[in-house]
Chain A
């Protein structure tokens, strides 16, 4: 069954640590995206990649990094430079102009 998988579902991070959120898709989609959701803020774009080995900053890229070494994978690293990392993170992919397929999300909490 084709889909997009995010892991883990819940993640706890100590202050000062980097953490990496996984996003894998088997839909053969070229483009992949990372969004952050905070209450009342909607979906804010962090990074996106339209092709392997290329990615672009979104609206709130500071404190985050990504890689796109394989078409199927687009991991997001939340670095210690991100001042307020507690949020719900969503990964999405698409191959057309007709909308995204989203993963089920990762809830990151700083403890």
Chain B
């Protein structure tokens, strides 16, 4: 059973507009959430993260929002740029033994159209 779900396999956005990527989770033990960006034939790179004690974290054009009651997080990219075109993975980790291990969603492919 998928504990981290990214229900949109793909998303297309015009350059300059906002991109919103969504992620849902089912495990209430998750307390740290991350977004990774992946280009074809490369390894994922860390983008932004958020702890469960916060509801928002911002880094430049990237903002992650966390709604714990809904078990939902989202990544906002404003403004979107063609170089943002990539696959974005949502990941979660929990407290306790083995908490280093991340659980990944299946990814959302973002295409930013010039």
- Chain A residues with CB under 8 Å of chain B are 6, 31, 33, 40-43, 48, 50, 88, 90, 92, 94-105, 107
Contact = CB atoms under 8 A, between A and B. Distances in A.
B50 to A, nearest CB: 11
A67 B95 CA distance: 27
A102 B49 CA distance: 16
Say whether chain B's binding surface is mostly helix, strand, loop, or mixed. Answer: loop
B34 interface: yes
A41 B89 CA distance: 11
Contacts of A31: 100-101
Nearest to A105: B43
Contacts of B25: none
A50 B45 contact: no
27 contacts: A6-B43, A31-B100, A31-B101, A33-B101, A40-B9, A40-B106, A41-B106, A42-B6, A42-B105, A42-B106, A43-B44, A43-B89, A48-B101, A50-B98, A90-B43, A92-B43, A95-B100, A97-B93, A97-B99, A97-B100, A98-B49, A99-B34, A99-B93, A99-B102, A104-B43, A105-B41, A105-B42
